[in-house]
Amino acid sequence: MSRTLELLPAVDVRDGQAVRLVHGESGTETSYGSPLEAALAWQRSGAEWLHLVDLDAAFGTGDNRALIAEVARAMDIKVELSGGIRDDETLAAALATGCTRVNLGTAALETPEWVAKVIAEHGDQIAVGLDVRGTTLRGRGWTRDGGDLYETLARLDSEGCARYVVTDIAKDGTLQGPNLELLRNVCAVTDRPVVASGGVSSLDDLRAISELVPLGVEGSIVGKALYAKAFTLEEALAAVAS
Ligand SMILES: O=C(O)c1ccccc1NCC(=O)[C@H](O)[C@H](O)COP(=O)(O)O
């Protein structure tokens, strides 16, 4: 098992643009231009992963499917694809981009039988996003309650889910620091790797998340902090190198 925290710079796409949201709320977008340019910039800076999100698909306001596929296919690095992957058709389209894995959110809450089926079929290519306010999961672009974090986690563990992407929505896009307690609590009840998401603001935040690697935290998504130039990706990669 790797002892170095993986970093996944984020490219969240809304209406064809790379954006950042606050608390994942529609209407709070700050635009950062071309998603392809952003993704290529993270790749040039040494990223080994890209976290690529179709926000329109997540919110149900359309999709950026062609653009997302173009970005994913242009990458030489691993891609984690998220947003609106909820049935056989959207899963097939996502996997056809050549991405390394997909991140399911709403489907894990609304169609658990389908999620159990695709976990069995695709194994490590499927991660589940556990997006929470407190300990309540949120689906449909984080707009609707979807049950208890720990009950859902126990169910997904029993179904063989390979990995979880854990987001504290209250922290997401706020530069207020990650919810380390949430990450510790999730790691305490599952032996599956956890990818942290939401709130990273500084290199010290990344060092603090790195300290959770022995507990099961495998990686950290970084969005706003990179776009706001709180630090560079090169500095972040150096900070977590062991
Ligand atoms: O991932 C989703 O499906 C999603 C749905 C609705 C709103 C936001 C969504 N994702 C946001 C992210 O994955 C962010 O890129 C990530 O949490 C980074 O957060 P931050 O470092 O705080 O900018």
Quick: pLDDT tens for 154-177: 999 999 999 999 999 999 999 999
User: pTM here?
Assistant: 0.96
Mean pLDDT, to the nearest integer, of 218-242?
A: 96
If you write DSSP's letter for every residue of the chain in order, what string do you get? ---SPEEEEEEEEETTEEEE-STT-TT--EE-S-HHHHHHHHHHTT-SEEEEEEHHHHHTS---HHHHHHHHHH-SSEEEEESS--SHHHHHHHHTTT-SEEEE-HHHHH-HHHHHHHHHHHGGGEEEEEEEETTEEEETTTTEEEEEHHHHHHHHHHTT---EEEEETTTTTTTS---HHHHHHHHHH--S-EEEES---SHHHHHHHHTTGGGTEEEEEE-HHHHTTSS-HHHHHHHH--
Mean pLDDT, to the nearest integer, of 143-155?
A: 93
pLDDT score at 141: 81
Residue 24 reports pLDDT greater than 90: no
Per annotation, catalytic residue among 56, 63, 131, 172: 131
Which residue has the CA at smallest separation from atom 8 of ligand 1? 24
Instruction: Say if CB 55 and CB 19 are below 8 A apart.
Output: yes
What ipTM was predicted for this assembly? 0.93
- Out of 221, 224, 226, 231, mutate this one to test ligand 1's pocket (max ligand atoms within 8 Å of CB): namely 221
Tell me the backbone φ, ψ of residue 9, rounded to 5 degrees.
-60, 145
Instruction: Say if CB 8 and CB 220 are below 8 A apart.
Output: yes
Q: Please indicate whether residue 163 or residue 145 has the higher confidence score (pLDDT).
A: 163
Q: pLDDT grade, residue 134 (50/70/90)?
A: very high
Q: pLDDT grade, residue 144 (50/70/90)?
A: confident
Cα–Cα distances in Å, from 73 out to 43, 57, 96, 166?
13, 19, 9, 26
pLDDT score at 109: 94
- Out of 7, 86, 197, mutate this one to test ligand 1's pocket (max ligand atoms within 8 Å of CB): namely 197
Q: Does residue 131 carry a catalytic annotation?
A: yes
Residue 67 reports pLDDT greater than 80: yes
Q: Please indicate whether residue 27 or residue 239 has the higher confidence score (pLDDT).
A: 239
Tokens of 65: 């499917």
Distance 221 CA to ligand 1 centre (A): 8
pLDDT score at 142: 80
What is the residue-averaged pLDDT of the chain?
96
